[in-house]
Amino acid sequence: MDKTLTITPGMAGDSKRNITQVINDYSKRLMGFIRKRVTNEADAEDVLQDVFYQFVGNTQPIEQMSAWLFTVARNKITDRQRKHKPEALEDVFSNEDGEDAVNWSELLFDASNNPEKEYLRTLFWEELNAALEELPAEQRDIFIKHELEGISFKDLSEQTGESVNTLISRKRYAVLHLRERLAVLKDELLNY
């Protein structure tokens, strides 16, 4: 015998009430959890929305609602961080909060004849060039071409035949090395 599953209007109403109840019960806690792990409010709201979209679209029974929601939130945050834009030269000198303590572009690219700024610029470029020379050629080349020459990853991918993700990864390793290598200079300049 074939049984047909039919959804009655009462069942749909119960489902909507259950979804609304879960959203009301967990929104505040989830948002607090997410805010601690993402950089801005808009991203936090996007992650929360993604979590609830996945919840609403879920067709499997959920035994432990709280654990399921927080696991989905953690996964959504991780996915978002993986897709995060590639690091830039400013990221080498930004602090953990992503904020510059000093306006580096103003200092490094200022064309004024200030002798102190000129000395700091010269010192920075010498240290950057020395740090770049320590990198493997592929990482150094992609950093220079993308960050200093302004060539897009797409164009670089077409030129080299490498995937965009490979190029992004190489640049990321270069930035991590430069950040570590230039940390001493940063501390000296900030405490100068």
Task: Give the Cα separation of 128 and 131 in Å (integer).
Answer: 5
Compute the average pLDDT of residues 7-23.
Answer: 63
Give the model confidence (pLDDT) of 17-32 as tens digits. Answer: 788 898 899 999 999 9
Model-wide pTM > 0.75: no
pLDDT value for 2: 42
Give the model confidence (pLDDT) of 127-178 as tens digits. Answer: 888 888 988 999 899 888 888 788 888 888 899 898 888 888 888 888 888 8
> Which domains, and CATH codes, for the chain?
9-82 (1.10.1740), 89-190 (1.10.10.10)
A 10 A CB-CB count for 61 gives 5
Give the model confidence (pLDDT) of 49-70 as tens digits. Answer: 999 888 888 888 888 888 899 9
| CA-angle at 33, arms to 32 and 37, nearest 5° | 110
CB 143 within 8 A of CB 175: yes
A 10 A CB-CB count for 65 gives 12
pLDDT-above-90 percentage for the chain: 10
